Amino acid sequence: MESEILKSTVYYDGSCPLCRAEIGYYRRTDRVDALCFVDVSEPAAETPQGITRQRAMERFHVRASDGRVLSGAAAFVEVWTRFPAWRWAVRATSLPGALAALELGYRMFLPIRPIISRLFGLTLRLQTLAKGARRE
């Protein structure tokens, strides 16, 4: 009998082009369906208990398979544990101060995420236009 994989649930802002690209990578990398994905930008999406939709869109959240709700750097580490190629990163976060440094970096990134996301989205649109122009 095959053992069933306990899934973690990833809550992400699907209105953010950068976030969608990252989630796309995670979907492609998740070959054993260890992750469920919830786009919290959808009005009907359910968020983790105690987390508002707005808060879920502002920070990366994951409900681990054991029920813990993680956010920020700890949530990324939970996702990385599901990918064999990322185990090195998981091990690195166990070094003293590493997770705290990642969280600090994530917090510094959050205020500029909208700007980076808009630029990323614009870049994607320009690439699409350029590909279309080359086909004509």
Residue 49 CA, distance from chain mean position: 19
Phi-psi region of 97 (alpha: psi -120 to 50; beta: other; left: phi over 0): left
Give pLDDT, residue 97.
97
Q: What's the pLDDT tens digit per position in 2-53?
A: 456 789 999 999 999 889 989 999 999 999 999 999 999 999 999 999 999 9
Give pLDDT, residue 4.
62
pLDDT band at 123 (very low <50, low <70, confident <90, very high): confident
Instruction: Quote the tokens at residue 13.
Output: 């802002």
Specify the pTM: 0.83
pLDDT band at 1 (very low <50, low <70, confident <90, very high): very low
Domain residue ranges in the chain: 8-129
Angle between helices 17-29 and 113-135 (to 10 degrees): 80
How many CA atoms lie less than 13 Å away from 35 in the CB half-sphere? 25
> Residue 63: how many CB atoms within 10 A of its CB?
22
Give pLDDT, residue 17.
87
What amino acid occupies position 39? D
Helix/strand/coil percent split, the chain, to 5: 55, 10, 35
Q: What's the pLDDT tens digit per position in 64-117?
A: 999 999 999 999 999 999 999 999 999 999 999 999 999 999 999 998 888 888
